[in-house]
Structure 1
Amino acid sequence: MGAGQGDRLVVETRPETRTDTVVLVMTGEVDHDSAGPLKEALEEGIGARRIIADCSGLRFCDSTGLNVLLKARLRMLHHGGRLDLAGLRPPVDRMFEITGAHNVFRVFQDVETALMDSQAGT
Protein backbone atom coordinates (compact mmCIF):
# COMPACT_ATOMS: atom_id res chain seq x y z
CA MET A 1 0.00 0.00 0.00
CA GLY A 2 1.48 3.34 -1.04
CA ALA A 3 1.70 6.47 1.06
CA GLY A 4 -1.72 7.95 1.74
CA GLN A 5 -3.61 4.96 0.36
CA GLY A 6 -4.64 3.86 3.84
CA ASP A 7 -6.63 7.09 4.13
CA ARG A 8 -8.73 6.72 1.01
CA LEU A 9 -12.26 5.46 1.32
CA VAL A 10 -13.23 2.06 0.00
CA VAL A 11 -16.92 1.12 -0.11
CA GLU A 12 -17.98 -2.45 -0.86
CA THR A 13 -21.59 -3.39 -1.47
CA ARG A 14 -22.62 -6.66 0.09
CA PRO A 15 -26.12 -7.88 -0.80
CA GLU A 16 -27.72 -9.86 2.00
CA THR A 17 -29.84 -12.98 1.72
CA ARG A 18 -32.81 -10.71 2.17
CA THR A 19 -33.10 -9.17 -1.29
CA ASP A 20 -34.41 -5.91 0.13
CA THR A 21 -31.29 -5.19 2.22
CA VAL A 22 -27.87 -3.97 1.13
CA VAL A 23 -24.87 -3.62 3.42
CA LEU A 24 -22.27 -0.99 2.53
CA VAL A 25 -18.94 -1.84 4.10
CA MET A 26 -16.82 1.31 4.47
CA THR A 27 -13.09 1.25 5.11
CA GLY A 28 -10.84 4.28 5.51
CA GLU A 29 -11.83 7.90 5.92
CA VAL A 30 -14.72 9.99 4.59
CA ASP A 31 -14.01 13.64 3.93
CA HIS A 32 -14.59 16.19 1.19
CA ASP A 33 -11.99 14.58 -1.10
CA SER A 34 -13.05 10.96 -0.58
CA ALA A 35 -16.85 11.04 -0.32
CA GLY A 36 -17.45 10.12 -4.00
CA PRO A 37 -17.46 6.32 -3.57
CA LEU A 38 -19.89 6.60 -0.66
CA LYS A 39 -22.26 8.84 -2.65
CA GLU A 40 -22.19 6.42 -5.59
CA ALA A 41 -22.78 3.33 -3.44
CA LEU A 42 -25.68 4.99 -1.62
CA GLU A 43 -27.27 6.08 -4.90
CA GLU A 44 -26.98 2.54 -6.26
CA GLY A 45 -28.65 1.20 -3.12
CA ILE A 46 -31.71 3.43 -3.35
CA GLY A 47 -33.80 0.58 -4.84
CA ALA A 48 -33.27 -1.49 -1.69
CA ARG A 49 -35.76 -1.36 1.15
CA ARG A 50 -32.92 -0.96 3.64
CA ILE A 51 -29.27 0.05 3.53
CA ILE A 52 -27.04 -0.74 6.47
CA ALA A 53 -23.87 1.35 6.45
CA ASP A 54 -21.18 -0.74 8.16
CA CYS A 55 -18.91 1.88 9.71
CA SER A 56 -16.69 -0.55 11.64
CA GLY A 57 -13.79 0.05 9.24
CA LEU A 58 -14.29 3.81 9.15
CA ARG A 59 -11.50 5.65 10.94
CA PHE A 60 -12.72 9.19 10.27
CA CYS A 61 -15.84 10.95 9.03
CA ASP A 62 -16.16 14.71 8.68
CA SER A 63 -19.21 16.88 8.03
CA THR A 64 -19.10 15.99 4.33
CA GLY A 65 -19.55 12.30 5.13
CA LEU A 66 -22.30 13.09 7.61
CA ASN A 67 -24.12 15.21 5.02
CA VAL A 68 -23.84 12.44 2.41
CA LEU A 69 -25.40 9.98 4.87
CA LEU A 70 -28.13 12.42 5.93
CA LYS A 71 -29.12 13.16 2.32
CA ALA A 72 -29.15 9.45 1.50
CA ARG A 73 -31.33 8.81 4.55
CA LEU A 74 -33.88 11.36 3.30
CA ARG A 75 -33.87 9.80 -0.20
CA MET A 76 -34.39 6.36 1.32
CA LEU A 77 -37.30 7.62 3.42
CA HIS A 78 -38.81 9.27 0.34
CA HIS A 79 -38.68 5.88 -1.44
CA GLY A 80 -40.15 4.01 1.54
CA GLY A 81 -36.83 2.63 2.79
CA ARG A 82 -34.36 3.39 5.53
CA LEU A 83 -30.67 3.87 6.11
CA ASP A 84 -29.21 2.48 9.32
CA LEU A 85 -25.67 2.66 10.71
CA ALA A 86 -23.70 -0.12 12.35
CA GLY A 87 -20.33 -0.50 14.06
CA LEU A 88 -19.48 3.13 14.76
CA ARG A 89 -15.95 3.33 16.18
CA PRO A 90 -15.11 5.91 18.89
CA PRO A 91 -13.85 8.82 16.72
CA VAL A 92 -16.75 8.54 14.27
CA ASP A 93 -19.28 7.73 16.99
CA ARG A 94 -18.23 10.86 18.89
CA MET A 95 -18.83 13.06 15.84
CA PHE A 96 -22.31 11.55 15.38
CA GLU A 97 -23.03 12.09 19.07
CA ILE A 98 -21.86 15.72 19.09
CA THR A 99 -23.87 16.62 15.98
CA GLY A 100 -27.02 14.89 17.20
CA ALA A 101 -27.01 12.41 14.31
CA HIS A 102 -27.53 9.61 16.85
CA ASN A 103 -31.05 10.98 17.21
CA VAL A 104 -31.66 10.81 13.45
CA PHE A 105 -30.16 7.44 12.49
CA ARG A 106 -30.84 4.04 13.97
CA VAL A 107 -27.40 2.97 15.16
CA PHE A 108 -26.55 -0.67 15.86
CA GLN A 109 -23.56 -2.23 17.58
CA ASP A 110 -22.69 -4.24 14.46
CA VAL A 111 -24.17 -5.44 11.16
CA GLU A 112 -25.32 -8.74 12.63
CA THR A 113 -27.36 -6.93 15.29
CA ALA A 114 -28.83 -4.66 12.65
CA LEU A 115 -29.80 -7.62 10.49
CA MET A 116 -31.47 -9.37 13.43
CA ASP A 117 -33.51 -6.22 14.05
CA SER A 118 -34.60 -6.19 10.42
CA GLN A 119 -35.67 -9.82 10.63
CA ALA A 120 -37.75 -8.97 13.68
CA GLY A 121 -39.83 -6.77 11.41
CA THR A 122 -39.22 -3.40 13.03
Structure 2
Amino acid sequence: MRHEAPVTGEGASPPGRFTVEAWTVPGTDTDVVSVAGELDRDTMAPLSTALEEHVGAGRVVVDCSELAFCDSSGLNALLGARLRALENGGSVELSGLRRPVDRMFEITGVRAVFQVYETLDEALAETTL
Protein backbone atom coordinates (compact mmCIF):
# COMPACT_ATOMS: atom_id res chain seq x y z
CA MET A 1 0.00 0.00 0.00
CA ARG A 2 1.44 3.38 -1.01
CA HIS A 3 0.66 6.66 0.78
CA GLU A 4 1.82 10.01 -0.56
CA ALA A 5 1.85 13.41 1.08
CA PRO A 6 -1.13 15.43 -0.20
CA VAL A 7 -0.64 18.67 -2.08
CA THR A 8 -2.92 21.33 -0.62
CA GLY A 9 -2.87 25.07 -0.13
CA GLU A 10 -0.30 27.71 -0.93
CA GLY A 11 3.30 26.58 -0.52
CA ALA A 12 2.27 22.94 -0.22
CA SER A 13 4.86 20.25 -0.66
CA PRO A 14 5.26 18.99 -4.23
CA PRO A 15 3.98 15.52 -5.09
CA GLY A 16 6.47 12.81 -4.26
CA ARG A 17 8.38 14.86 -1.67
CA PHE A 18 7.47 12.17 0.86
CA THR A 19 6.09 8.70 0.28
CA VAL A 20 5.26 5.71 2.44
CA GLU A 21 4.84 2.11 1.34
CA ALA A 22 3.72 -0.59 3.75
CA TRP A 23 3.39 -4.35 3.53
CA THR A 24 3.27 -7.49 5.65
CA VAL A 25 6.11 -9.98 5.41
CA PRO A 26 4.29 -13.19 4.38
CA GLY A 27 4.00 -15.85 7.07
CA THR A 28 5.14 -13.54 9.89
CA ASP A 29 3.81 -10.98 12.34
CA THR A 30 6.18 -8.37 10.82
CA ASP A 31 5.02 -5.38 8.80
CA VAL A 32 7.39 -3.04 6.97
CA VAL A 33 6.70 0.67 6.63
CA SER A 34 9.17 2.12 4.12
CA VAL A 35 9.56 5.91 4.09
CA ALA A 36 11.25 8.08 1.46
CA GLY A 37 11.91 11.78 1.08
CA GLU A 38 11.42 14.56 3.60
CA LEU A 39 9.36 13.91 6.71
CA ASP A 40 8.08 17.03 8.43
CA ARG A 41 4.88 18.60 9.74
CA ASP A 42 3.54 19.11 6.22
CA THR A 43 4.20 15.56 5.01
CA MET A 44 3.66 13.37 8.07
CA ALA A 45 0.00 12.46 7.44
CA PRO A 46 0.85 9.43 5.25
CA LEU A 47 3.25 8.10 7.88
CA SER A 48 0.68 8.54 10.63
CA THR A 49 -1.91 6.73 8.50
CA ALA A 50 0.45 3.84 7.70
CA LEU A 51 1.57 3.46 11.30
CA GLU A 52 -2.03 3.50 12.52
CA GLU A 53 -2.90 0.76 10.03
CA HIS A 54 0.10 -1.44 10.86
CA VAL A 55 0.89 -0.94 14.54
CA GLY A 56 -0.86 -3.72 16.40
CA ALA A 57 0.16 -6.78 18.30
CA GLY A 58 3.02 -7.54 15.93
CA ARG A 59 6.31 -6.08 14.86
CA VAL A 60 6.71 -3.05 12.61
CA VAL A 61 10.04 -2.23 10.97
CA VAL A 62 10.26 1.32 9.64
CA ASP A 63 12.73 1.31 6.76
CA CYS A 64 14.40 4.74 6.71
CA SER A 65 17.00 3.98 4.04
CA GLU A 66 15.42 6.51 1.65
CA LEU A 67 14.55 9.10 4.31
CA ALA A 68 16.54 12.28 3.63
CA PHE A 69 15.13 14.48 6.41
CA CYS A 70 13.03 14.09 9.57
CA ASP A 71 11.94 16.83 11.94
CA SER A 72 10.37 16.65 15.40
CA SER A 73 6.93 15.90 13.92
CA GLY A 74 8.28 12.70 12.41
CA LEU A 75 10.05 11.79 15.64
CA ASN A 76 6.81 12.27 17.57
CA ALA A 77 4.88 10.09 15.12
CA LEU A 78 7.44 7.28 15.50
CA LEU A 79 7.55 7.59 19.29
CA GLY A 80 3.75 7.57 19.52
CA ALA A 81 3.56 4.47 17.33
CA ARG A 82 6.19 2.79 19.49
CA LEU A 83 4.13 3.42 22.63
CA ARG A 84 0.93 2.10 21.00
CA ALA A 85 2.80 -1.00 19.85
CA LEU A 86 4.24 -1.64 23.32
CA GLU A 87 0.76 -1.32 24.86
CA ASN A 88 -0.38 -4.11 22.51
CA GLY A 89 2.64 -6.36 23.02
CA GLY A 90 4.29 -5.35 19.75
CA SER A 91 7.26 -3.28 18.70
CA VAL A 92 8.34 -0.56 16.29
CA GLU A 93 11.92 -0.86 15.08
CA LEU A 94 14.02 1.17 12.64
CA SER A 95 16.35 0.22 9.83
CA GLY A 96 18.64 2.03 7.41
CA LEU A 97 19.07 5.34 9.23
CA ARG A 98 21.15 7.70 7.10
CA ARG A 99 22.92 10.90 8.01
CA PRO A 100 21.63 13.51 8.88
CA VAL A 101 18.54 11.61 10.07
CA ASP A 102 20.64 9.24 12.18
CA ARG A 103 22.48 12.20 13.72
CA MET A 104 19.22 13.89 14.73
CA PHE A 105 17.90 10.65 16.23
CA GLU A 106 21.17 10.31 18.17
CA ILE A 107 21.21 13.92 19.44
CA THR A 108 17.61 13.79 20.63
CA GLY A 109 18.05 10.41 22.33
CA VAL A 110 15.34 8.84 20.17
CA ARG A 111 17.78 6.33 18.69
CA ALA A 112 18.35 4.82 22.14
CA VAL A 113 14.68 3.84 22.61
CA PHE A 114 14.37 1.94 19.33
CA GLN A 115 15.92 -1.29 18.14
CA VAL A 116 17.93 -0.05 15.13
CA TYR A 117 19.26 -2.20 12.29
CA GLU A 118 21.78 -1.15 9.65
CA THR A 119 19.60 -2.47 6.81
CA LEU A 120 16.09 -3.75 6.22
CA ASP A 121 17.55 -7.15 5.29
CA GLU A 122 19.26 -7.31 8.68
CA ALA A 123 16.01 -6.44 10.43
CA LEU A 124 14.06 -9.03 8.47
CA ALA A 125 16.66 -11.68 9.27
CA GLU A 126 15.41 -11.33 12.85
CA THR A 127 11.84 -12.07 11.76
CA THR A 128 10.28 -15.17 13.26
CA LEU A 129 8.54 -17.34 10.68
TM-score relative to the length of structure 1: 0.89
Tell me which protein shows more helix as a share of its residues: 1
Q: In the alignment, does 2:102 pair up with 1:86?
A: no
Percentage identity across aligned positions?
Answer: 51
Q: C-alpha distance in 1, partners of 2:56/2:111?
A: 24
Q: Do 1:21 and 1:48's aligned partners in 2 also have CA atoms closer than 8 Å?
A: no
Correspondence for 1:95: 104
Mapped to 2, the partners of 1:37 and 1:80 lie a distance apart of 24
For structure 2, the 5+ residue unaligned runs are 1-12
CA contact (8 A) 2:61 2:93 kept: yes
The answer to whether 1:44 aligns with 2:37 is no
Computed over aligned residues only, the root mean square deviation of the Cα atoms, in angstroms, reads 1.7
* Aligned-residue offset at 1:48: 4.9
**Does the residue aligned with 1:90 lie in a helix, a strand or coil?**
coil
Q: CA deviation at 1:18?
A: 3.3
Deviations 1:36-76 (A, max 9, x none): 00000000002350000000010000000000000000000
Match of 1:35 among 17, 41, 44: 44
The number of aligned residues is 117
Structure 1 stretches (4+) deviating beyond 3 angstroms? 3-6
Which among 59, 67, 92 is matched to residue 68 of structure 2? 59
With normalisation by structure 2, the TM-score equals 0.85
Q: Which residue identity does 1:28 align to in structure 2?
A: G
- The 5 A counterparts of 1:66-77 are 66-77=75-86
Q: Which runs of 5+ in 1 are unaligned?
A: none
